């Protein structure tokens, strides 16, 4: 057995039967991100979801440890990568999509509203011609579009709020719901980035919680809690409705919005955001190299509180 499979940072959520995928979650501790492999247990076709390209914000250096771990697990399980998927342009980690596309040959996809996000950030960076998601992704999925992983059907659910173009991927009894919900003992995700909207996030969460009660919800991040140090990332719709500390059954919309906005007002920008989005809005590619053979990032000054 691979050493990777022995670590508590990797967990397998087994298929529950016909139409249900096998899911592996691989935890990335530097950013609290969870990377996913979603696979058809019959055909062994798989999608890689929200995989991290490791970035050291102190030295501005990249490494491939996380994507190497994911691909090692793919090989160990005898899977073939059919898709490289992201749920949104991440603010707290650099996406590995372009690297994985080159290494696997699989197409890279994200939601169809990402060009709107790119427009917001092109203004913030004053880089009007830098971002072209139609160029840098193979597919931009529309809301309710359906595609397949092997023989499994996947539905694309538009889930705005954290960003205006976030999408969730619903595959049988598994849903990859990214930065909407946290684990039930941690609540919900922030909605204060440019293009974010607290009211829209509430609606997205309600749509997710309207899925069948035993749907396995796989979240984008976990940072533990004051009483739980081990990372977790899976809970059912029923679990969230019963005990999510922010949105359990009976929670009122106005109360949640007030609480979410008050919490968001205390949060700083993620450490990696200004580097990450400049890369992620290029599909996980660095800016073009300059005359000296190096790539450079442009960082806005005094644009954020």
Distance of CA 263 to the CA centre of its chain: 21
| Distance (Å, whole) CA 85 – CA 108 | 6
| Residue partners of 257: CB distance under 8 A and separation at least 6 | 198, 199, 202
Is 24 inside any structural domain?
Answer: yes
User: Which residues neighbour 206 within 8 Å (Cβ) at sequence distance 6 or greater?
Assistant: none
Is 305 a member of any domain?
A: no
Q: Which positions of the chain have pLDDT values less than 70? A: 1-8
Q: Cα–Cα distance between 80 and 269 in angstroms, integer?
A: 37
Q: Is residue 284, in this structure, part of any structural domain at all? A: no
Residue 305: per-residue pLDDT:
79
**Predicted local confidence at residue 1, as pLDDT:** 37
Tell me, what's the pLDDT at 224? Answer: 92
295 found inside a domain: no
| pLDDT for the residue numbered 8 | 60
- Distance (Å, rounded) from C-alpha 84 to C-alpha 149? 11
Q: Is 296 among the domain residues?
A: no
Query: Residue 125 and residue 185: Cα distance in Å, rounded?
Result: 36
Q: For residue 227, which phi and psi values (nearest 5 degrees)?
A: -115, -5
Q: Domain of residue 104: give its range.
A: 3-277
Query: Distance (Å, rounded) from C-alpha 94 to C-alpha 67?
Result: 11
CATH number for the domain spanning 107: value is 3.60.15.10
Helix, strand, or coil here: 205? helix
**Number of separate domains in the chain:** 1
Please check whether residue 282 lies inside any domain of the structure: no
Question: For the chain, how many residues are written?
Answer: 305
The pair of structure tokens assigned to 232 is: 């977790």
pLDDT tens-digit profile of 158-176?
Answer: 999 999 999 999 999 999 9
pTM of the model: 0.96
- Give a yes or no: residue 60 inside a domain: yes
Helices then strands, each counted (H, E), the chain: 8, 16
On whether residue 304 sits in a domain, the answer given is: no
Pure H helices in the chain: 65-76, 97-104, 114-125, 133-136, 198-209, 237-243, 253-264, 273-280
Distance from the first to the final alpha carbon of the chain: 49
């Amino acid at each position: 057995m691979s050493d990777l499979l022995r670590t508590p940072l990797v967990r397998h959520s087994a298929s529950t039967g016909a139409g249900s995928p096998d899911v592996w979650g691989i935890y990335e501790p530097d950013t609290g991100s969870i990377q996913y492999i979603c696979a058809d247990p019959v055909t062994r076709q798989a999608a890689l979801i929200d995989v991290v390209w490791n970035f050291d914000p102190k030295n501005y250096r990249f490494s491939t440890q996380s994507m190497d771990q994911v691909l090692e697990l793919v090989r160990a399980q005898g899977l073939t990568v059919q898709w490289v998927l992201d749920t949104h342009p991440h603010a707290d980690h650099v996406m590995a999509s372009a690297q994985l596309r080159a290494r696997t040959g699989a197409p890279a996809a994200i939601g169809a509203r990402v060009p709107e996000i790119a427009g917001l950030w092109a203004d913030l960076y004053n880089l009007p011609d830098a971002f072209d998601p139609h160029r840098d992704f193979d597919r931009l999925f529309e809301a309710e579009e359906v595609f397949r992983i092997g023989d499994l059907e996947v539905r694309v659910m538009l889930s705005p709020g954290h960003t205006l173009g976030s999408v969730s991927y619903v595959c049988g009894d598994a849903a990859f719901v990214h930065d909407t919900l946290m684990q039930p003992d941690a609540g919900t995700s922030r909605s204060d980035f440019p293009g974010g909207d607290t009211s829209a996030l509430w609606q997205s969460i309600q749509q997710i919680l309207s899925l069948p009660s035993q749907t396995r919800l796989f979240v984008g991040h976990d940072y533990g809690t004051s009483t739980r140090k081990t990372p977790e990332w899976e809970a059912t719709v029923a679990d969230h409705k019963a005990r999510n500390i922010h949105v359990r059954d009976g929670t009122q919309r106005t109360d949640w919005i007030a609480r979410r906005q008050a919490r968001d007002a205390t949060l700083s920008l993620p450490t990696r955001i200004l580097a990450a989005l400049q890369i992620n809005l290029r599909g996980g590619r660095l800016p073009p190299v300059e005359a000296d053979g190096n790539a450079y990032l442009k960082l806005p000054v005094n644009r954020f509180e």
